[in-house]
Amino acid sequence: MKIISDILMLIGSLGLFLFGMKMLSEALQKLAGNRMRTVLSNMVSTPFKRVLTGFFVTAVIQSSSAITMMVVSFVNTGLLTLTQSIGVIMGANVGTTVTAWIIAAVGFQPLISLYDLSIMLVAVGFPLLMLKRRRNKSWGEFIIGVALLFVGLAALKTISGMIGNTLPVQHFLTSYTGMGYISVLLFVTIGAIVTVVLQSSNAVMALIMVVCYYGWIPFDMAVAMVAGENIGRTISANRAATVANVQGQRAARSHFVLNIIGLIWVLALFYPAIRLLEWIEGLLGCLSPFEADAAGVYGSGVIGLAMFHTLFNLCNVCLLIGFTPWLVKAVTWMVKSNSTEEADNSLKYIQRGMMSTAELLQEQAKREIICYAKRATKQFKLLRELFREINPEKFDELFRKIELDEEKADRIEMEIATYLNKISEGELSEKSSRRLQAMYKAISEIESVSDSNYDLARIMLRKKNVGVWFDQDLRDRINALFDLLEKAYACMNDILNKSDKDFATIERTYEYEKQINAMRTQLKEEHVQNLEENKYKYITGVIYLDLVIECEKLGDYIVNVSETALDLNPERKKV
């Protein structure tokens, strides 16, 4: 029973630490809001800025996993390139070491009892939780998160000290510490596994520091566990990236590759590195991490562990930052994709450099708008596949693709608008100015088309989730609407691709819109009659009618794009 109670107390204290860390990190993310995202997406112009950005954001947020997953999502939607993401991840690796120094300084060299400090922090944080303002609540959550973290750390230290040599796990660990490099590899593996299980590299660092502090394992084996922790924390991002596109998966894989390379050179220089750390601690006047005092507490090994954690990641950045292009090639080779998918995730015609004249700039923008419209058309084709799909797994996969396309559409609209803003800063003729205004309107309307596609997909997802099944008659009627929309899409793309104003095609677009409106009215009337005759359930009718109404809205958006497209073409052609 004593062993069980000891284990439960250890787990409980670790749980308090984890919960405090989670609460602290989430509160910081709320306080930072979109500013951290803005910093992360904008300050990446040079390799140094990328590393500095990753370091700064991670040090503020106190969660390298959260930052890495944010980076993966940014790469997934094209907001960051793969090259940029690698630099940010390098910085995040260094930024996460800040927590280890805080734990070492506050937790093991306290000027005041951690319990007393925690109570005082709760006294400050709890009143903030009672306030209505959201920002004040977030500050309260942050302060209480810090308090819980300190309580968990204090409990972990106290319980570990009380347990002493009573737990069999200590004897197990000690028995495998004298086998040279085999022991090193074993403790690297243990560190990685524990990090994967706990899903918090900071909690693992605290645990390693405590067991090293009380001499459960030698300092060199604790260093090996820290090296393993650096591998274990890459797993979260790789698991999160399983639903991402190829670029997102490559960004997550680059995190793993970076840390694996670091582990290889650290293992090659492992014992010289240990001697270096011991020498540095000697210069600092600390007790050697290999020596215990009269109370059985080993030297300031926690300082050495924090130092190793920082030096390991900092040296890894310095060694590999110049090899970023080769890292990009390596992860590109590891995660294969087809060229169509990669091309679909980036702008094709708008380049970073600006040309000399407004006319050439506008032509570049027009070609990108044409490509933007084609993306929306491709999204609609996926939507038709989604409507036909009956396999749940394939349905979810298609829905995720449509959802990602909508996210890309939002991002592309902003990038084109930013480009148009740069054009507007120059001197424009009256004709160029009118054309520029038409481009602003065009990208807004195309984004509405993409939103409508996504809204239709969400209605289909609701249909799947509530278990609604359309009979053949209802499917035929929806497909008839889809056929008209597909013809309207074709007209829209034809007008955009013309070099002059094609009024014949716009007339066909108007005709398709009239047919869609007429069918919408007819189907709504039939729907009322079908409900009265109990031809289908009420929820079936609701979802069916939602699809019909959204199809009519999509037709209106397509017409809006087609009308705006006429003003993109400089010449007038009468028919």
Write out the DSSP string of 103-159.
IIIIIHS-SS-HHHHHHHHHHHHHHHHHSSSHHHHHHHHHHHHHHHHHHHHHHHHHH
In a domain, 328, yes or no: yes
Q: Are residues 364 and 281 in the same domain?
A: no
Residue-level pLDDT at 332:
87
Q: Are residues 310 and 362 in the same domain?
A: no
Residue-level pLDDT at 288:
46
Identify the domain boundary among 274, 306, 334. 334
Over 90: is that where the pLDDT of 449 sits?
Answer: yes
Report residue 162's pLDDT band, with 50, 70 and 90 as the boundaries: low
Instruction: For residue 502, give its domain range.
Output: 347-573
Over 60: is that where the pLDDT of 198 sits?
Answer: yes
Q: Are residues 292 and 382 in the same domain?
A: no
Q: Are residues 261 and 400 in the same domain?
A: no
In a domain, 446, yes or no: yes
The structure tokens 């005092």 sit at 293
Top pLDDT among 44 and 447 is at 447
Winning range, highest mean pLDDT, from 93-107, 216-230, 344-358: 216-230
Q: CA-CA distance, 402 to 453, in Å (whole number)? A: 8
Q: Are residues 265 and 397 in the same domain?
A: no
Torsion angle, alpha carbons of 180, 184, 187, 192, to 10:
-160
In a domain, 486, yes or no: yes
Is residue 219 packed enough to be buried (19+ CB in 10 Å), middle (13-18) or exposed (0-12)?
Answer: buried
In a domain, 180, yes or no: yes
Q: CA-CA distance, 252 to 118, in Å (whole number)? A: 36
Q: Is 287 helix (H, G, I), strand (E, B) or coil?
A: coil
The CATH number that applies at residue 406 is 1.20.58.220
Phi, psi angles (nearest 5°) of residue 28: -65, -40
Tokens of 463: 């249909």
Q: Are residues 279 and 366 in the same domain?
A: no
CB 519 within 8 A of CB 478: no
Report residue 455's pLDDT band, with 50, 70 and 90 as the boundaries: very high
Q: How many domains does the chain have?
A: 2
Q: Are residues 284 and 353 in the same domain?
A: no
Contact partners, residue 232, CB within 8 Å, separation at least 6: 191, 192, 193, 194, 195, 196, 201, 204
Q: CA-CA distance, 317 to 93, in Å (whole number)? A: 9
Q: Are residues 415 and 312 in the same domain?
A: no
CB 195 within 8 A of CB 65: no
Q: What percent of the chain has pLDDT over 90?
A: 18
Q: Are residues 265 and 120 in the same domain?
A: yes
Over 80: is that where the pLDDT of 507 sits?
Answer: yes
Winning range, highest mean pLDDT, from 153-162, 192-201, 343-352, 426-435: 192-201
The structure tokens 């080993």 sit at 298
Across residues 483-507, what is the average pLDDT?
A: 84
Q: Are residues 48 and 103 in the same domain?
A: yes
Q: Is 121 helix (H, G, I), strand (E, B) or coil?
A: helix
Across residues 364-375, what is the average pLDDT?
A: 86
Report DSSP state, residue 292.
B
- pTM across the whole model: 0.57
Q: Are residues 308 and 409 in the same domain?
A: no
In a domain, 341, yes or no: no
In a domain, 520, yes or no: yes
Identify the domain boundary among 306, 334, 362. 334
Average pLDDT, the chain: 79
In a domain, 287, yes or no: yes
Q: CA-CA distance, 220 to 201, in Å (whole number)? A: 19
Identify the domain boundary among 310, 334, 358. 334
Q: Are residues 160 and 247 in the same domain?
A: yes
In a domain, 51, yes or no: yes
Q: CA-CA distance, 564 to 559, in Å (whole number)? A: 9
Report residue 261's pLDDT band, with 50, 70 and 90 as the boundaries: very high
Across residues 41-62, what is the average pLDDT?
A: 76
Report DSSP state, residue 391.
-
Q: CA-CA distance, 278 to 188, in Å (whole number)? A: 20
Contact partners, residue 237, CB within 8 Å, separation at least 6: 65, 68, 69, 72, 251, 252, 255
